Amino acid sequence: MSQTHPTAVIVLAAGQGTRMKSALPKVMHPIGGRSLLHHSVAAAAGTSPEHLIVVVRHERDQLVAHLDSLPVSSQRTLLIADQDEVPGTGRATECALTQLPEDLSGTVVVTYGDVPLLTTETITGLVEIHESNANAVTVLSAEVDDPTGYGRIIRDEAGSLLRIVEQKDANETERAVREINSGIYAFDASALKEGLASLTTDNAQGEKYLTDVIGHAREAGLSVAATATDDLWQVEGANDRVQLANLGKELNRRQCEKFMRAGVSIIDPDTTWIDIDVSIAADATILPGTQLLGATDIAAGATVGPDTTLKDTEVGEGAQVVRTHGELAVVGPDAKVGPFAYLRPGTKLGESGKIGTFVETKNADIGKGAKVPHLSYVGDAEIGEGSNIGAASVFVNYDGVNKHRTVIGKHARMGSDNMYVAPVTVGDGAYSGASTTVRKDVPAGALAISVAPQRNLEGWVQTNRPGTPAAQAAENASEGERISE
């Protein structure tokens, strides 16, 4: 059976969202690595409608710029409709229709920009029920324990949809109804246009209610219906930070469950956060306290965590990443990172390589089997296959104006406490002594040494620090040596 596609989907995003108490438009607040609006638009686009329209008003330019940045905008035409000063969902829908052909026919879906858990499948199911029953209007409803704030679904004695009553317009009996209007509808285009033309602002809110289209259709003898979803989270909106956090938590729970059922071991889902665009292969293991953000990709057999945050980072098969923060980095197969490593953008660690404890890397290409084990900064560098960088090494890449690159060849053995003053190249198989400052290129196979020979000034402590514990200890040691002689 072929999938049913709506003629148009309208996403309402014109509300001010004052309860969010934020300078950022409500629908731009993120959960799961996407804005609320991104979630809503992606679900709508998944139904492959002929027309996809977003209605905006408050912070209009900011919202339009955000919409232009979404992947869907590069894949299809995304229409923008501006709501005028007349308030209400009915008026918002009227404004959306001005962007559509006058002879529009078929099914028009209306949804919201702040329902991030609504899925393409649910929208498609609503359209299928709507069209198979030849309805003029089909409402997506849900039954809740506390319906406060929602419009109520009022049915007649036969159970048919009679009307929808908003909270402030409902009487005591109507307020006791637990079936609520999600605000998500499928309309026959002709019935929608006729119903919108009949709307007034004669209500407690002084708004044009989209729900009044239902009463108009019923009075015209057209078929109207409400179909309930058993997944209340899909119709939950985010009006304040508490609701936003609850939706984020539920979305994350679903993400973790999806991956666990696909063969990923997530040791503690309650402390693991996984964005929508993350990929994790079967047999990967995610340890507690881990955040996988953006388009991070974890391969089979890899272990990430505990206490690790990776954003837009690729982790190869069998790799281990422990207590690490990484962004726009690549960790090769069987490589080891951490604990307490910082992988900045442009880091590439080759197969079986190592970035160890308290190491920071940036724009660094570290080859197969190469190691930077301890207490080092590697920036704007290339380290060849099999090379080892000693502890406390610093790649000095910035001259105050420009960044410069250091190249270390293959199988080099570099001493501890080295500094590489870029631009500089160290050849294949070269060595360096401890505390060497490499300012000039080092030929292949050479040993680089820059420190002066050590000098020991005998008796310096007793002469210059008399009476100190160090002087007393030195004196005792000297006395012991004399006795042993």
Q: Can you tell me the mean pLDDT for 211-238?
A: 94
CATH of 8-235, one of 3.90.550.10, 3.60.20.30, 3.40.50.980, 1.10.150.120: 3.90.550.10
This prediction has a pTM of: 0.92
**Terminal CA-to-CA distance of the chain, rounded, Å?**
101
Yes or no: say if 415 and 433 are a contact pair by the CB < 8 Å rule. Answer: yes
Known binding residues for UDP-N-acetyl-alpha-D-glucosamine: 12-15, 26, 83, 88-89, 112-114, 151, 166, 181, 239, 344, 362, 377, 388
Phi, psi of 469 (to 5 degrees): -55, -35
Is the pLDDT at 467 greater than 60? The verdict is yes
| pLDDT, the chain, mean | 95
For 363, the 3-state DSSP assignment is: strand
Is the pLDDT at 375 greater than 90? The verdict is yes
Residue 38 among the catalytic residues: no
Q: What is the pLDDT of residues 7-24, one digit of tens each?
A: 999 999 999 899 999 999
What the block records as the tokens of 351 is 């197969």
Residues of the chain with CATH 2.160.10.10: 264-448
Q: What is the pLDDT of residues 394-443, one digit of tens each?
A: 999 999 999 999 999 999 999 999 999 999 999 999 999 999 999 999 99
Check 5, 58, 374, 411 and give the catalytic one: 374
CATH of 264-448, one of 3.50.50.60, 2.40.37.10, 2.160.10.10, 3.30.70.260: 2.160.10.10
Measure Cα distances from 368 to 349, 353, 417 in Å: 7, 6, 23
Rounded to whole angstroms, the Cα distance separating 113 from 64 reads 13
For 174, the 3-state DSSP assignment is: helix
pLDDT band, residue 201 (cuts 50/70/90): confident
Known binding residues for acetyl-CoA: 391, 397-398, 416, 434
Residues of the chain with CATH 3.90.550.10: 8-235
**Is the link from the previous residue into 443 a cis peptide, with omega within 30 of 0?**
no
Rounded to whole angstroms, the Cα distance separating 4 from 354 reads 52
Tell me which DSSP letter residue 230 carries.
Answer: S
E strands present in 283-370: 285-286, 291-293, 297-298, 303-304, 309-311, 314-315, 320-321, 324-327, 330-331, 336-337, 341-343, 348-349, 354-366
Known binding residues for Mg(2+): 114, 239
In this prediction, residue 479 carries a pLDDT of 80
Residues facing residue 280 across a β-bridge? 298
Q: What is the pLDDT of residues 46-93, one digit of tens each?
A: 999 999 999 999 999 999 999 999 999 889 999 999 999 999 999 999
480 or 196, greater pLDDT: 196
Is the pLDDT at 378 greater than 90? The verdict is yes
In this prediction, residue 1 carries a pLDDT of 41
Yes or no: say if 7 and 44 are a contact pair by the CB < 8 Å rule. Answer: no
432 or 168, greater pLDDT: 432
Q: Can you tell me the mean pLDDT for 195-205?
A: 88
